[in-house]
Amino acid sequence: MPRASIPPPTMAPRGRDLQPARISGILSWSGRCVTRLTVTICAVWSCHCVNRDLPPRPDDDAGGGDLPDARPDADLQDGQLGGVRPDGPTCLPYTCADLHVECGRVLDGCDGVLDCGVCTVGSCGGGGRNRCGSDQCQPRTCVDLGASCGLVSDGCGDNTLQCGSCTPPETCGGGGMSKKCGCTPFTCPELGADCGLVSDGCGHMKDCGACIAPRTCGGEGVANRCGCVATTCEMQNANCGMLPDGCGGVLDCKTCLMPELCGGGGPNRCGTAPCVPKTCGGAGAECGSISDECGNIVNCGDPCQPPNTCGGSGFANRCGCSPVSCATQGKNCGVVADGCGLMLDCGGACPSPQTCGGGGDSNVCGCTGKTCADVGADCGIADDGCGGKLDCGSCTSPRACAAMGTPNKCQ
């Protein structure tokens, strides 16, 4: 058993297919708030963000892809996320109009399916994904869309494709890639953990570091949080004089009645024997305050030089520094400062196609997907550079996608 652990707070279930918000063709998911162009999204319990933009049209040159997880709502206030209210994981489904869909069956972003009707002219998919037109629609497969789990629309009408399921703790989209099985581990800050071992939500334990004395891990009764519970005169078996309470305060344990002296009966105990006061050197104290055991507080000064602090290494009245681990900082690649004058190696190369800092967070492995415009794609399915697929729509007749042999170009 780990020393202590805390469960993640109540949130929208991680087991759901956390589909990404689609931003100009980017299929993006994150465990923290991220901003791409004009859209701010949030997909974890620790923050509530607002997503005001409707998704682009399926036949837009900016790209398509899978549908977002939940619809923006006009009644939401700033600081709220469309689809997940701050007071509970209530999902607000998209409508056909929200998605600019004219026909067929599409996902509503809340694990449901919308029936958007039939075409009165042309066929469904003939004018772009789930749009009416005269062109012939080529149904897309899970492989075409780079999907290995969850539901997707084939773009041609009534068919939704089941692309498989994931094995826990992995979920569909959980690793940051739409329609891919994965798991994004929680960081210590996301779990509100200051210290000790916690589950990262992906089957592994994470070390969130140690506390600075006099605080201890769980010291105030909250697992994985640094805290300090002050001692009492009774706990110290003291009935006279002043002594430190162990948390930076001072206890007054009263005075003795004559002819007894404080310390005459033992440390901070009334008695008739002589009391020899303790010194900082005699107590092995380099800094801070100690009791001389004869009823007085002795100030041992503050000679600690930064980054050292008094008790900083976990030992009271001793100068030291507790380094902050990569895990505590939420870092998993590159080199970072440990807070004690040294540098930490947080890991080697990130798994391709991720790079260190590639998702926008320094010293965190990630990848920022490209848009259809970035890759110069006018139509069809293109790679986003992060292992996902972009649906870049279709062409307007009489042009067709790759008609002259150039992939993803209307010709």
What does the block give as tokens for 276?
């020899």
Choose from 68-72, 140-144, 146-150, 165-169 the range with maximum mean pLDDT.
165-169
Name the percent of the chain lying above pLDDT 90: 32
The predicted pLDDT at position 336 comes to 94
At 90 the pLDDT is: 61
Q: At residue 368, does pLDDT exceed 50?
A: yes
**Residue 215 pLDDT greater than 80, yes or no:** yes
- Reduced to 3 states (helix: H, G, I; strand: E, B; else coil), residue 110 is coil
Around 160, how many Cα atoms within 13 Å sit in the side-chain half-sphere? Answer: 20
Contacts for 216-223 with beta carbons within 8 Å, 24 or more apart? 217/3, 217/4, 218/4, 223/4, 223/5, 223/6, 223/196
Contacts of residue 219, Cβ cutoff 8 Å, sequence gap at least 6: 211, 226, 227, 228, 229
Confidence tier at 80 by pLDDT (50, 70, 90): very low
For 26, the token pair is 């980017």
CA distances from 410 to 44, 115, 404 (A): 39, 30, 9
pLDDT at 33 over 70: no
pLDDT band at 50 (very low <50, low <70, confident <90, very high): very low
Using the predicted structure, report yes or no on whether residue 296 has a pLDDT greater than 50. yes
Among 66, 32, 38, 65, smallest CA distance to 51 is for 38
Mean pLDDT of the 97-115 span: 84
> Helices then strands (H, E): number in the chain?
2, 30
Confidence check: pLDDT of 12 > 90: no
Average pLDDT, the chain: 76
Q: What's the rounded Cα separation, in Å, for the pair 156 and 106?
A: 10
| Opening angle at CA 111, ends 395 and 385, nearest 5 | 45
Q: Mean per-residue pLDDT for 382-396? A: 83
Domains of the chain by residue range: 1-210, 214-321, 325-368
Number of residues written out for the chain:
411
User: Does the structure show a pLDDT above 80 at 3?
Assistant: no
- 242 has a pLDDT exceeding 50: yes
Closest C-alpha among 352, 331, 370, 349 to residue 28: 370
**169 vs 45, more confident:** 169
The pair of structure tokens assigned to 114 is: 């919308």
**Rounded Cα distance, 105 and 103, in Å:** 7
Phi and psi (nearest 5°) for 335? -115, 130
- C-alpha dist (Å) from residue 111 to 104, 114, 117, 168, 341: 17, 10, 19, 18, 50
Separation between Cα atoms, residue 85 and residue 397, nearest integer Å: 43
Pairing of strands 242-244, 250-252: antiparallel
Closest by CA to 292, choosing from 281, 306, 305, 308, is 281
Which pLDDT score is estimated for 89? 45
Predicted local confidence at residue 235, as pLDDT: 95
Rounded Cα distance, 57 and 295, in Å: 79
Are the CB atoms for 104 and 157 separated by under 8 Å? yes
State the pLDDT confidence band at 343, using cuts at 50, 70 and 90.
very high
Residue 45 has what pLDDT? 27
In this prediction, residue 63 has a pLDDT band, given cuts at 50, 70 and 90, of very low
Within 8 A by CB and 6+ apart from 310, the residues are 286, 287, 288, 302, 304, 317, 318, 319
Tens of pLDDT, residues 304-341: 999 999 988 888 899 999 888 888 888 889 999 999 99
Q: Residue 393's pLDDT band (boundaries 50, 70, 90)?
A: confident
Mean pLDDT is lowest, of 42-46, 58-62, 295-299, 361-365, for 42-46
Q: What is the pLDDT of residues 266-288, one digit of tens each?
A: 999 999 999 999 999 999 999 99
pLDDT at 261 over 80: yes
| Model confidence at 297: pLDDT above 90 | yes
The pLDDT score that the predictor gives to residue 72 is 33
- 113: confidence class by pLDDT, cuts 50, 70, 90: confident
Distance CA 174, CA 114 (A): 24
What confidence score (pLDDT) does residue 66 get? 42
At residue 37, the pLDDT reads 26
pLDDT band at 38 (very low <50, low <70, confident <90, very high): very low
Q: Tell me the HSE value of 5 on the side-chain side, using a 13 A CA sphere.
A: 14
Q: What is the mean pLDDT of residues 34-63?
A: 31
Instruction: Answer yes or no: are the C-beta atoms of 260 and 272 closer than 8 Å.
Output: yes
CA distance 309 to 323: 12
**Are 217 and 184 contacting, i.e. CB atoms less than 8 angstroms apart?**
no
292 CB-near residues (< 8 Å, 6+ apart)? 263, 277, 278, 279, 298
Q: How far apart are CA 160 and CA 112, in angstroms?
A: 11
